[in-house]
């Protein structure tokens, strides 16, 4: 396949992430031979998912959503006949927070220019934040701060960007890891994901 300008721009981001020492999370990678997780998928995807931060499995492999939560995400995509390779999957934070703790405000502030640039390059039609941290960050970024509410209230709803990016739609989803703690949630996630059929 031809090497595109998007491939090159995303490769530059990868190079920068590998050298980044702007917050303390990089320290966790060096000692443990963990990798940062930049993102993967179609560099011209219509649909982009943004999770929170790599977990243990992701840091070991450098691939987003390849552990337990990833298995759920793959199942959700399969249920509407979308292949993982057709979407782009990234995270708010590129390095794993110790013990899978929640992202800290300063880490979000420091790291998210990477995901912002990934969005600008890929230009997806729809961005699906997975979980409350990325929901809040992305809705605020796209001028939807006033519509931010609990994920249990706005999951699966479509929000049209209130900024210059008028063509972008944000659809927040529960983080797929909820299914590991509460298997009955899978039904809700399977219902919510159907909304993506129109963006294939
Ligand atoms: N959880 C996330 O938010 N991102 C991953 O990549 C894996 C688990």
CA of 2 to the centre of ligand 1 (A): 29
Tens digit of each residue's pLDDT (9 = 90 or more) over 142-195: 999 999 999 999 999 999 997 766 689 999 999 999 999 999 999 999 999 999
Q: Which two tokens stand for residue 165?
A: 């990016």
> Is pLDDT above 80 for 30?
no
What's the gap in Å between 55 CA and the centre of ligand 1?
A: 6
**Exposed, middle or buried by CB within 10 Å (0-12, 13-18, 19+), for 183?**
exposed
Provide the whole-model pTM.
0.96
CB 17 within 8 A of CB 117: no
Ligand 1 atom closest to the CA of 131, numbered from 1: 3
How far is the C-alpha of 114 from the C-alpha of 68, rounded, in Å?
25
Residue 165 pLDDT: 61
| Mean pLDDT, residues 63-89 | 98
As for ligand 1, residues whose beta carbon falls within 6 Å of it are 37, 51-55, 58, 64-65, 69, 91
pLDDT in tens, 32-72: 789 999 999 999 999 999 999 999 999 999 999 999 999 99
State the DSSP string of 168-179: -EE--B--TTHH
Complete domains list, the chain, with CATH: 5-194 (3.40.470.10)
Whole-number Å distance, alpha carbon 199 to ligand 1 midpoint, is: 23
Tell which atom from ligand 1 comes closest to the C-alpha of 57. 7
């Amino acid at each position: 396949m031809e090497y595109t300008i998007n491939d090159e721009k995303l490769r530059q981001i990868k190079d920068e992430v590998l050298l980044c020492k702007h917050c303390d999370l990089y320290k966790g990678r060096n000692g443990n031979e963990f990798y940062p997780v930049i993102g993967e998928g179609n560099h011209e995807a219509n649909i982009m998912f943004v999770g929170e931060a790599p977990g243990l499995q992701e840091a070991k492999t450098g691939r987003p959503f390849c552990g337990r939560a990833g298995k759920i995400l793959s199942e959700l995509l399969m249920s509407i006949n979308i292949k993982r390779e057709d979407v782009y999957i990234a995270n708010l934070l590129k390095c794993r927070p110790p013990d899978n703790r929640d992202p800290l405000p300063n880490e979000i502030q420091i790291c998210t220019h990477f995901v912002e640039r990934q969005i600008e390059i890929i230009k997806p039609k729809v961005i699906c934040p997975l979980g409350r941290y990325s929901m809040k960050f992305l809705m605020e970024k796209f001028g939807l701060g006033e519509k931010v509410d609990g994920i249990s209230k706005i999951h699966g709803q479509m929000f049209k960007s209130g900024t210059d990016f008028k063509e972008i739609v944000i659809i927040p989803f529960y983080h797929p890891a909820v299914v590991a703690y509460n298997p009955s949630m899978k039904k809700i996630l399977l219902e919510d994901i159907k909304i993506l059929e129109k963006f294939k």
